[in-house]
């Protein structure tokens, strides 16, 4: 296959007449976006039901009784908060004892609405790296548009102000962490020579106080084709370890320990090691594929193992390997977190959560379950690395979220925060079913619907299916109010490609096997129809990012299965995705379109190339963001343009100018997009007496 980089612009444009829409901020492209937005806003925001839908979404997103989720550090709980008054949000803190009360005594650290008004930039908070051991300084990250690229400034916690002549760096995808009070570890992505081909940091540098960032000292490098590098300090008790890493791709990496001598010594783990932690002198790790350790121990996926890290530092011997957690069928690891004295393992057991607490003594490892509720989605909200506090979240489709808190490493538990119910859950039931996919694999999925349902109703099917990311049960107040209360059903599918059952579930749909994820999704759609939960004409689907690829493929491969399709911040042109930064970072997931054999499987399903003029597509709504610097808006733009150009009038497109890939920042545009989605679904899936949806007369735009 000829590289896109070697073809002329005229050749590319002849092959792809909508290539000009890839120019993110080009006048012609943005003029097209504005015309599209005007039609979509007129169509959806002009609907009589829109205003009430928007008001409900905004009220719930900004409700003052939403849970203030926070993390404890040195006697305070830190929280980022947004409501109607504080559109861009407050970074604030409260004493731990006060946080547990109904009305915590919050102290504002930064008011981002005030800061943005003062500086004329809509700053979006991106987090803060605190300086150990006093935590009186932080490296504050702020995005100017909600994208991934952020500016960094040094901030004084006592004076609540930025430090004049302190550390400061312009917006980029660089990373910053403290080495000591006068030295910052910089994972640099400023100059092109310091970036990987995906646009992420390639070089790690030490930046001394009082010097220019351009003069920072390089200490570690990756290759141009690697995904990224990163570094930071890990504390294990009083011991400080400087860890550096090369992320080769999304699923493989090399980890290094920087010794006092300046040597960067590689930790002898397999390339696909995962779930790592340093705890009481032990290096804990998991693997994505079976690995035989140097001492002959067979390490298996979905298990956890450990080795004496201090011994390895002193002698170089990476042994003996101990088994911390044995693998079990359909049980996978969702994550690790640690306090000063305990290690916590978040597990998924058939897509339901639980937590195990571990201790390490001279006798080895001891494990016991944390006494949390069963049959729901249990997660670790925070674990205080330098203390004993830990908190857990609990939710399911019909149970509002709650925070269970412990000040003694999970021994004593108390529910300290509970979100009020946003809808009456009594009439509804949550059920788990399985659908048989094309190759015979059973695919689990959840259905939330009325208990007294007697016939098919409109249903929304959602899935993700990529990057080893699990899709778990969760309470949706907005979904309950705007969808379930209208008599509709919600379906959530755990298709392959995700991480619900560990690495093997993900790897089953990797690269050339991607079609299995699409087949799984279609199988679930067919199964809910077969069970009489809905009909094809009443079934809407939604997915974002990789899930947007999923719904895009579903549109072009099986339009007969669906009555409406929502495609959010998607990948859709899989033969050019690596040309749109940072698309090259996903080659390990999808494959490389510049390799003929891999282009063959990508081209076999790439939605953009499979739009057909003679297909009977259901109504489609595509949404993206100009500020999305993770998945380029060109994907959604080009797909909408091609659908409309080939005569598919029921295609709507909307592009927000801010918010980035995850819709961060001001809740008002987020509420508007949410409301438009629900209006779109209700219109498209409300079948009229003549059998057509209410989108049959939509105009086609240039």
Mean predicted confidence (pLDDT) in 93-119: 97
Taking a C-beta distance cutoff of 8 angstroms, is the pair 416, 100 a contact? yes
Q: What is the pTM of this model?
A: 0.93
Residue 85 has pLDDT above 90, yes or no: yes
Evaluate if residue 57 carries a pLDDT over 90.
yes
Whole-angstrom distance, CA of residue 204 vs CA of residue 219: 6
Work out the average pLDDT over 211-233.
Answer: 96
Tokens at 657, concatenated? 């100018």
54-90 per-residue burial string, b: 16 or more CB within 10 A, e: under 16 = bebbbebbbeeebbbbbbbbbebbbbbbbeeebbbbb
Cβ atoms of 498 and 514 closer than 8 Å: no
Residue among 505, 516, 597 at smallest CA distance from 557: 516
Task: Determine the Cα–Cα distance for residues 254 and 264; give it in Å rounded to an integer.
Answer: 11
Instruction: Please give the pLDDT value at position 373.
Output: 87
Q: What is the mean pLDDT of residues 121-126?
A: 95
Predicted confidence at residue 658, as pLDDT, reads 79
* Band (696; pLDDT cuts 50, 70, 90): very low
Higher pLDDT, 697 or 194: 194
What is the model's pLDDT at position 11?
56
- Average confidence (pLDDT) over 61-67: 95
pLDDT at res. 688: 44
Q: Which of 19-23, 487-491, 666-670 has the lowest mean pLDDT?
A: 666-670
The pLDDT of 426-445, averaged and rounded, is 97
Mean residue pLDDT of the chain comes to: 94
> What tens digit of pLDDT does each residue of 395-430 get?
999 999 999 999 999 999 999 999 999 999 999 999
On the question of pLDDT at 673 being above 80, the answer is: yes
Q: What share of the chain has pLDDT > 70, as a percent?
A: 96
Per-residue pLDDT at 13: 60
Is the pLDDT assigned to residue 499 strictly greater than 80?
Answer: yes
Instruction: Choose the weakest-confidence range: 57-61, 214-218, 557-561, 658-662.
Output: 658-662
pLDDT of residue 701 exceeding 90: no
Is residue 690 pLDDT above 70, yes or no?
no
Whether residue 160 is predicted with pLDDT greater than 70 in this model: the reply is yes
| Helix, strand, coil percent content, the chain, rounded in steps of 5 | 25, 35, 40
C-alpha pair distances (Å), 574 with each of 419, 580, 610: 41, 10, 11
Task: Give residue 48's pLDDT band: very low, low, confident or very high (50, 70, 90).
Answer: very high
With a cut of 70, say whether residue 111 has pLDDT above it.
Answer: yes
Residue with tokens 């890290």: 309
pLDDT above 70: residue 14: no
Q: In this predicted structure, what is the pLDDT of residue 687?
A: 54
Q: Residue 649: its pLDDT value, please?
A: 93
pLDDT band at 300 (very low <50, low <70, confident <90, very high): very high
The C-alpha atoms of residue 308 and residue 321 are separated, in whole angstroms, by 8
549: enclosing H helix or E strand? helix 546-557
pLDDT at residue 505, as a whole number: 96
Query: Which range (213-217, 247-251, 349-353) has the least confidence?
Result: 349-353
Give pLDDT, residue 12: 55
Give the mean model confidence (pLDDT) for residues 105-129.
97
Tens digits of residue pLDDT in 614-650: 999 999 999 999 988 889 999 999 999 999 999 999 9
**DSSP collapsed to 3 states, 452-492:** CCCCCCCEEEECCCCCCCCCCCCCCHHHHHHCHHHCCEEEE
Catalytic residue list: 545, 661
User: pLDDT over 90 for what percent of the chain?
Assistant: 91
- pLDDT(350) > 90: no
């Amino acid at each position: 296959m000829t590289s896109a980089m070697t073809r002329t612009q005229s050749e590319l444009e002849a092959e792809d007449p909508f290539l000009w829409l890839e120019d993110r901020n080009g006048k012609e492209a943005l003029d097209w976006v504005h015309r599209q937005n005007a039609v979509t806003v007129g169509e959806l925001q002009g609907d009589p039901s829109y205003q009430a839908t928007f008001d409900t979404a905004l009220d719930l997103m900004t409700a003052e009784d939403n849970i203030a989720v926070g993390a404890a550090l040195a006697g305070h709980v830190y929280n980022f908060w947004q409501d109607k008054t504080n559109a861009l949000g407050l970074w604030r803190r409260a004493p731990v004892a006060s946080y547990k009360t109904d009305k915590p005594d919050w102290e504002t650290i930064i008011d981002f609405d005030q800061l943005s008004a003062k500086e004329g930039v809509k700053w979006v908070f991106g987090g803060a790296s605190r300086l150990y051991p006093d935590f009186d300084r932080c490296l504050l990250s702020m995005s100017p548009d909600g994208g991934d690229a952020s500016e960094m400034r040094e901030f004084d916690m006592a004076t609540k102000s930025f430090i004049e002549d302190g550390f400061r760096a312009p917006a980029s995808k660089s990373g910053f962490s403290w080495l000591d009070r006068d030295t910052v570890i910089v994972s640099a992505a400023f100059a092109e020579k310091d970036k990987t081909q995906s646009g992420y940091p390639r070089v790690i540098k030490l930046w001394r106080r009082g010097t220019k960032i351009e003069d920072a000292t390089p200490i570690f490098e990756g290759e141009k084709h690697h995904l990224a590098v990163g570094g930071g300090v890990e504390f294990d008790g009083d011991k400080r370890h400087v860890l550096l890493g090369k992320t080769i791709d999304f699923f493989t990496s090399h980890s290094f320990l920087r010794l006092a001598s300046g040597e960067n010594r590689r930790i002898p783990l397999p390339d696909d090691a995962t779930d790592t932690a340093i705890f009481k002198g032990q290096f804990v790790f998991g693997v994505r594929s079976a690995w035989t350790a140097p001492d002959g121990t067979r390490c298996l996926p979905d298990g956890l193992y450990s080795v004496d890290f201090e011994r390895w530092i002193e002698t170089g011997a990476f042994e003996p390997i101990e088994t911390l957690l044995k693998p079990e069928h359909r049980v996978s690891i969702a994550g690790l977190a640690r306090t000063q004295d305990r290690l916590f393992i978040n597990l998924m057991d058939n897509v339901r959560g639980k937590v195990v607490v571990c201790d390490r003594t001279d006798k080895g490892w001891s494990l016991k379950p944390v006494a949390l509720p069963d049959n729901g989605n249990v997660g670790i909200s925070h674990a205080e690395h330098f203390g004993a506090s830990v908190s857990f979240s609990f939710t399911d489709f019909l149970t509002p979220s709650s925070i269970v808190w412990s000040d003694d490493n999970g021994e004593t538990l108390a529910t300290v925060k509970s979100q009020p119910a946003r809808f009456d859950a009594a009439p509804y039931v949550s059920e788990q079913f399985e659908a048989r996919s094309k190759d015979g694999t059973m695919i689990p999925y959840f259905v939330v619907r009325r208990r007294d349902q007697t016939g098919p109703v409109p249903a929304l099917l959602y899935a993700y299916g990529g990057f080893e990311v699990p899709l778990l049960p969760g309470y949706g107040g907005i979904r309950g109010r705007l969808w379930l209360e209208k008599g509709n059903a919600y379906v959530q599918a755990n298709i392959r490609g995700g991480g619900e059952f560990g690495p093997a579930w993900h790897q089953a749909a990797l690269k050339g096997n991607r079609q299995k994820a699409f087949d799984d999704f279609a199988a679930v759609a067919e199964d809910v129809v077969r069970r009489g939960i809905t009909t094809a004409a009443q079934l809407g689907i939604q997915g974002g990012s990789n899930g947007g690829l999923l719904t895009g493929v579903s549109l072009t491969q099986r339009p007969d299965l669906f009555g409406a399709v929502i495609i959010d911040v998607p990948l859709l042109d899989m033969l050019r995705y690596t040309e749109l930064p940072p698309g090259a970072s996903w080659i390990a997931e999808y494959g490389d379109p510049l390799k003929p054999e891999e282009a063959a499987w990508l081209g076999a399903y790439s939605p953009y190339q499979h739009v057909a003029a003679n297909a009977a597509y259901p109504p489609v709504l595509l949404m993206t963001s100009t500020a999305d610097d993770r998945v380029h808006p060109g994907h959604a733009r080009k797909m909408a343009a091609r659908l409309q150009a080939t005569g598919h009038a029921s295609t709507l497109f909307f592009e927000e100018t801010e918010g980035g890939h995850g819709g961060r920042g001001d809740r008002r545009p987020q509420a508007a997009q949410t409301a438009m989605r629900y209006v779109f679904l209700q219109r498209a899936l409300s079948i009229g007496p003549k059998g057509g949806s209410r989108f049959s007369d939509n105009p086609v735009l240039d």
